[in-house]
Every structure is written in structure tokens, then in C-alpha cells.
Structure 1
Amino acid sequence: MSDSKETKKRDASFFQAMKAVFWSFLGIRKKNDYEQDAAKLNPIHVIIAGLIGALLFIGTLIMIVKQVVAK
């Protein structure tokens, strides 16, 4: 497959990658949606979105633990 076809094939935005990662964190993905995302999303966007999602998740857990321990 040529580079131009590969670039054209993966034209999803970073926001779409964030949305796909969010739904994946929840574990609610249809097989059809997963296959469409796999064809469209840029792997670099998915990695960055996953790291951002993980940091947000860890930050949320830390804030919850601080609130519980403070009481």
C-alpha cells in the first residue's frame, strides 16, 4: 500500500481518538465501531489519547482517595 493511500485512510481527528479511547476505558465498544476506528485512527493519536486518559484516571483516583482520607 502506498504512503498516500495510508495517509488518506487514517484521516480521523485527535478528538475522535480521544472519544474512542474514552469508550474503550469504559469497555463499551461495538465490534463495528472498533473496526472503523482501527481503519481510521492514527496510532500516534491513540497512544497520546491513551496516556492522557490514564493520567486523568489516576488523577481522579488520587483526588477521591484524598477526600476519603481527609474525613
Structure 2
Amino acid sequence: MSTPPPRPPSRWRSIQAMAWALLGVRKGSEWHKDSAHIKPLQIVAVGVAAIFVFVLMLIAIVNWVV
């Protein structure tokens, strides 16, 4: 009996992994699971999107304050 191939991680799992990495809080076992399943392209895409959202939030805060 063969085992089914592992499912690719969802976008949500990639976003969670990136969020925990940005905060610097991550369990070693979870990091190993993610590094085995998440592709580097997914990490780069989520990271670029997170930076874009962060910059937009900073612009909105500055416009709101000024």
C-alpha cells in the first residue's frame, strides 16, 4: 500500500509561516514542517505582499496624522 503524496501547503499556511517568521516566534517542529512543504517562491511572494501592505499602512498613517 502506498502513501498518498503530501498535499501542497495552502496560501493561508504560507501566510501564517511568513507572519510567524516576521515576528520571530516559531516552534522548531513547525519550522521543519513548513520548510519541507512550502516552496521558496511562495515565501518570496508572501514576503513581497507583506512589505507592500506594510508600506501602504505607513503611508495611510502618515496621511491620517498630517
What TM-score comes out, normalization by structure 2 length?
A: 0.76
CA distance in 2, matches of 1:38, 1:9: 13
CA deviation vs aligned residue, 1:41-61 (integer Å, no higher than 9, x gap): 011111111111111111111
CA deviation vs aligned residue, 1:28-51 (integer Å, no higher than 9, x gap): 212221111111101111111111
CA distance in 2, matches of 1:51, 1:10: 24
Unmatched tracts of structure 2, length 5 or more: none
CA distance in 2, matches of 1:43, 1:9: 17
User: Paired residue for 2:48?
Assistant: 51
Matched, 1:20 2:17: yes
**RMSD over aligned Cα, in angstroms?**
1.7
What TM-score comes out, normalization by structure 1 length?
A: 0.72
Unmatched tracts of structure 1, length 5 or more: 1-7
- Across the two proteins, how many residue pairs are aligned to each other? 62
User: Paired residue for 1:32?
Assistant: 29
Which runs of 4 or more aligned residues in structure 1 lie more than 2 Å from their structure 2 counterparts after TM superposition? none
